[in-house]
Structure 1
């Protein structure tokens, strides 16, 4: 194997300088690498090759290698030479480098992305239904959206960290994605932040999903204003009495802004003859 990797036969290598036969460089810098034999003989210790070591064979072929070098001692313990053991790890190195580069691209993508990105594991109840999820990774944009730091989120459940998320169908949707493998896009309003998000969810593995969030609040507000304006005009153009029109307008406003209760009182000639409400309790109305 050593003859194959170096390109020198034993007879050809005999008597030649080690650096000519065992020509190694750093794979990333292309600079000459320190020869482990020199140190093993000089210090009398076992020496391993540094990472990213490339052996250049006699014909110019390059191999990624891993090796170790140990001193040879005589009966009195004096170092009289060294034994060098090395092996071809080119395929292992290539796979490792591809993985490293992929992880680096992922890191750069997520760190600089405008969209919020989160990776999570689903939490299931005894019947197998998704009820929560635990954060595995989030990017800086996600931190800005939720107002929480990555270190505080990782390993914690969404139910414990995100106010009001238990009232949203997010865990159920992620569960469906994890079960079917089908990616989904859905809009979600977050009352605690008064923000709208477009969420794209993808399956990463068994019980694991990734989600990409985009804040669409300005778009939704604009759409809601347009929809409400259109609805108010339709109501006002209808052949109904003014009090009924007010009530219907109030219902339309309540639906658009997703509030629990809303009221309206209109003034006329110093009095307030028109009043309408939606969602208030009788006790509250009696108190006011």
Structure 2
């Protein structure tokens, strides 16, 4: 802050000069008028000094106020610039005067690029008519009636929460919520409009996800096999639950209870509808305690058993309980049948030619046997009593090479994973048997698992595997060494299931020799049209018919561009859904050339024969 010129310094200089004049006036011959004038001048200077001090203090206060005003303005500017929503300021016609960072980001603009441009360029075309109508309405709106003459009115809200679509620069349109407020001039005209756009993309995505989730759970509600309903618990005057009425039920509820939906949702209590559902009244307490319950109950009038699961939902004040209901009548009948069949099952297990074992295994690797079927003796040579008496017998008769895999088996049992284990066991008669055991475990206590084993003698299967490998090697040799070309083709069809191409998935060595197509190229995954476009369309059609119909065909055909004749036998192999065709073929070009030469020779001989016959006829005398 500066005072121009420095009034304080000038006053001080004047006072100093006045003192000098006073001293001179006193030493000189006094003149009463001069002394009086000097005294008055001194008084004026004192007042002027006081005024200067007061002015200095006012200037300091004004400077402080200006600084506070600038800081306050910066704070409001920061609030505008860094507000999370897009904020724009326009004039009454919608021309942008200011735009904050969020709006620049939302509209994909550089800093202040939009200033001076109409806001309409960022409004989607479908919403522009609405936008212009709102501008016209805002400008036609009179200022508030309470506005004092010649003063500015408070900001007026014109529009709030209106959904519109914006078109950011070089980006797809996006939904936004629009709010508009305006400020009036002293003359009652709109001077500035304040626009706030809230990005609705996240909300729209959340709403879509919510609709999808609601549809998913509504589908579950409608299609689930269990009956489901929501009940409102009714209290007496003492606040004790006494009954309930159904507020919502799914279609299965009607089927499992034989109560029509209209009856159940008619507002009547359930005890009034079905008096013999007394056990169900324990559901009422769930609304107050919040503790879920589950019970089974038989309804005599329906001759059905129900498994009922009830739990509180929503606000406890609403006293709403969800009821999940399942018909377990069949299970109840099965339980009785199961009890009757358990004895039979024991007899079956004992008579089955299989190893059935039940034992408990512990975390330290130890185990205890509970049961051995009688079939153990016929397969292993040892009775169930032998195994129960000596739990190490099983280990001692196992082939040493297979014993090392037991630790991996135990790891699967502890993890409750199903395991299949093949190993060799030394029979009592000294023979070595191959066994395949299936293990299933369930943890029944800390550090203890119940294990069930079903084993079979697969010695014959193992011998068959060896024979199969020998046979596979033999046929692989045949595949590689036969003179004919052989391959398996996968037929490619269009959307109408019409064959249009094929690719080779296996070929033998003769395939390359007879076709000239390298094995690597033939098995590259590319189609025949791609690697051998010279092969005519009817080849694709023939192989496609075999794949689709399953009827084998045999034909002779020439590939003109290769100059070769082929004798081809095509037949479907494997699953029809795979559309695979086996192709067995041979090059018969030599035979075809021989046939052509033979036909030509036959024609020459026939012509010669006919000429000779005619000549003999001329020589033969005719009868008179």
Instruction: Give the TM-score normalised by structure 1.
Output: 0.58
Deviations 1:215-247 (CA, angstroms, capped at 9, x unpaired)? 2122111111111233355578889xxxxxxxx
Partner of 1:6: 380
Higher Cα Rg, which structure: 2
Query: What is the deviation of 1:104?
Result: 4.2
1:36/1:47 contact within 8 Å kept = no
Question: Structure 1's 22 and 182: CA in aligned 2 closer, same or farther, altered over 3 A?
Answer: same
Q: Which has the higher contact order (CA 8 A, sep 6+)?
A: 1
Distance between the aligned counterparts of 2:495 and 2:522, measured in 1? Answer: 25
Distance between the aligned counterparts of 2:563 and 2:427, measured in 1? Answer: 65
Query: What is the deviation of 1:186?
Result: 0.7
Partner of 2:581: 209
Partner of 1:116: 485
Distance between the aligned counterparts of 1:175 and 1:213, measured in 2? Answer: 17
Distance between the aligned counterparts of 1:100 and 1:183, measured in 2? Answer: 29
Query: What is the deviation of 1:87?
Result: 4.9
Partner of 2:599: 227
Alignment size in residue pairs = 217
Question: Structure 1's 215 and 56: CA in aligned 2 closer, same or farther, altered over 3 A?
Answer: farther
Distance between the aligned counterparts of 1:116 and 1:102, measured in 2? Answer: 21
Partner of 1:164: 534
Indicate yes or no: 2:62 matched with 1:62.
no
Distance between the aligned counterparts of 1:118 and 1:209, measured in 2? Answer: 8
Question: Structure 1's 131 and 233: CA in aligned 2 closer, same or farther, altered over 3 A?
Answer: farther
- Determine helix, strand or coil for the equivalent of 1:210: strand
2:404 pairs with one of 30, 36, 48: 36
Partner of 2:516: 147
Distance between the aligned counterparts of 1:33 and 1:197, measured in 2? Answer: 54
Partner of 2:228: none
Query: What is the deviation of 1:111?
Result: 1.7
Partner of 1:243: none
Question: Structure 1's 185 and 55: CA in aligned 2 closer, same or farther, altered over 3 A?
Answer: same
2:436/2:458 contact within 8 Å kept = no
Query: What is the deviation of 1:212?
Result: 0.3
Indicate yes or no: 2:461 matched with 1:94.
yes
- Determine helix, strand or coil for the equivalent of 2:561: coil
- Choose 101-110 or 134-143, whichever is displaced more: 101-110
1:55/1:65 contact within 8 Å kept = no
Partner of 1:138: 507
1:188 pairs with one of 557, 565, 576: 557
Query: What is the deviation of 1:139?
Result: 0.9
Distance between the aligned counterparts of 1:58 and 1:16, measured in 2? Answer: 16
Query: What is the deviation of 1:176?
Result: 2.0
Distance between the aligned counterparts of 1:158 and 1:127, measured in 2? Answer: 20
Distance between the aligned counterparts of 2:456 and 2:478, measured in 1? Answer: 30
Partner of 2:397: 22
2:543/2:581 contact within 8 Å kept = yes
Distance between the aligned counterparts of 2:537 and 2:428, measured in 1? Answer: 66
Identify, as 1 or 2, the structure richer in helix. 2
- Choose 46-55 or 97-106, whichever is displaced more: 46-55
Instruction: Give the TM-score normalised by structure 2.
Output: 0.29
- Determine helix, strand or coil for the equivalent of 1:123: strand
Deviations 1:146-202 (CA, angstroms, capped at 9, x unpaired)? 23333322222111122411x252111112222332211111212333221110111
1:163/1:192 contact within 8 Å kept = no
Deviations 1:100-123 (CA, angstroms, capped at 9, x unpaired)? 566545433312222111111112
Indicate yes or no: 2:107 matched with 1:107.
no
Correspondence 1:239-258 to 2 at 5 A: none
Deviations 1:112-147 (CA, angstroms, capped at 9, x unpaired)? 222111111112234433221111111111122223
1:65/1:86 contact within 8 Å kept = no
